[in-house]
Amino acid sequence: MAKQSIVPFGPQHPVLPEPIHLDLVLEDEKVVKAIPSIGFVHRGLESLVEKKDFNEMTYVVERTCGICSFMHGMGYCESIEHIMNVEIPDRAKYLRTIWAELSRIHSHLLWLGLLADAFGFESLFYQCWRMREKVLDVFELTTGGRCIFSVNKVGGVLKDMDAEMLKVMLDVTAGIEEELKVIKKTFLFDYTVESRLKGVGVLTKEQAHNLGAAGPFARASGIKMDMRTTGYAAYKDLDMEIITSEAGDSFARCEVRINEIFQAIDLIRQAISKIPGGELSAVVKGNPNGEYFMRVEQPRGEAIYYSKANGSKFLERMRIRTPTFANIPSLLETLKGADFADVPLLIVTIDPCISCTER
């Protein structure tokens, strides 16, 4: 047996925007085991439900993460709406869907940039983030915020989008679609990129299932699971096919996410063509009493919001299960047998969001 050595990886590392620590057990250049430790940025957001009422809590939940902020707020609001049996207006459902899908584009473009950066293709990284900037401008135009929108409330949404804004959104997404078609060739058909991604960090369908992987990471291993098919918000009225890939390697994860951007653009088009008029929010009376599990599909995978209310304005318990937390066991599995030089790349392929994980 070769001599084993332990290399600490993180919490501060150039590839990690956020802190996670891994102890990598190496045999020569091969990783044989990875031991994670998390908890560097725990903020205790969930315990704030004891101090903030259920309406104020929307703004706290939104700030769990800066990338999937909108969907955190939406998931939380939907859980409270289900407890209170509030049927939100159709227009609010569609607006939520449009913003959620635009968030998915923004998150996946960010991830593509980080991936390009991780395998050392700096100019491709800039190209992706340049496209993402246009999405952020649309967010600022329609909601007022670039990353955190604060447009959700229990019972509906706070802001409307007029025809002009919807047209801007269509134009911008069409522009991104064109640009992405060009960039896609570099990601999926380039010799150097393929040599860094193909066959690296393979996770089989069975492993992904047993370890409870979520989101594009699981779908890249062939698991057909997408919470959008459960039909929350306006998804039940839109046509979509779950995007999967069979290979289960880093290349498949990249492919799934690129195709999901095209899918998100298509969903936005469908939603804008079907959006009904009417009210933005329903009247919410009284305090919630009961409990509910809300499952939403975030860019990184399935997130679960559990809310338990007792009839007062403060919730009794609130819990968020985030996709990165679910993906860490699978990440450790993919790291086994990987080259030491591929570790940063493999960590990026789960699209880690540590602030979500630690809340």
Residues at the interface with other proteins (CB under 8 A): 52, 55-56, 59-60, 62-63, 123-124, 127, 130, 133, 140-145, 148, 150, 158-159, 182-183, 185-186, 189-192, 194
Q: How far is the CB of 72 from other proteins (least distance, A)?
A: 14
Q: Which is nearer to other proteins, 34 or 166 (CB)?
A: 166
In whole angstroms, give the CA distance from residue 222 to residue 142: 36
In whole angstroms, give the CA distance from residue 15 to residue 30: 19
Q: How far is the CB of 161 from other proteins (least distance, A)?
A: 10
Closest CA to 68 of 297, 305, 347: 297
Q: Which is nearer to other proteins, 159 or 209 (CB)?
A: 159
Q: In terms of DSSP bridges, do strands 315-321 and 301-310 run parallel, antiparallel, or are they unpaired?
A: antiparallel
Q: How far is the CB of 351 from other proteins (least distance, A)?
A: 23
Whether 207 and 221 have beta carbons less than 8 Å apart is answered as yes
Q: How far is the CB of 194 from other proteins (least distance, A)?
A: 7
Closest CA to 296 of 55, 69, 43, 91: 69
Q: How far is the CB of 80 from other proteins (least distance, A)?
A: 16
Q: Which is nearer to other proteins, 239 or 286 (CB)?
A: 286
Q: How far is the CB of 146 from other proteins (least distance, A)?
A: 9
Closest CA to 31 of 358, 320, 347, 292: 347
Q: How far is the CB of 121 from other proteins (least distance, A)?
A: 8
User: How far, rounded to the nearest angstrom, does the alpha carbon of residue 157 sit from its chain's CA centroid?
Assistant: 21
Q: Which is nearer to other proteins, 187 or 305 (CB)?
A: 187
In whole angstroms, give the CA distance from residue 85 to residue 206: 38
In whole angstroms, give the CA distance from residue 230 to residue 241: 12
Place of tokens 């209170």: 84
Q: How far apart are the first and last CA of the chain?
A: 41
Structure tokens, 354: 């540590």
3-class SS string, 205-252: HHHHHHCCCCHHHHHCCCCCCCHHHHCCCCHHHCCCCCCCCCCCCHHH
Q: Which is nearer to other proteins, 36 or 145 (CB)?
A: 145
Q: Which is nearer to other proteins, 73 or 248 (CB)?
A: 73
Structure tokens, 225: 């699971």
Return the SS3 of 169: helix
Q: Which is nearer to other proteins, 140 or 206 (CB)?
A: 140
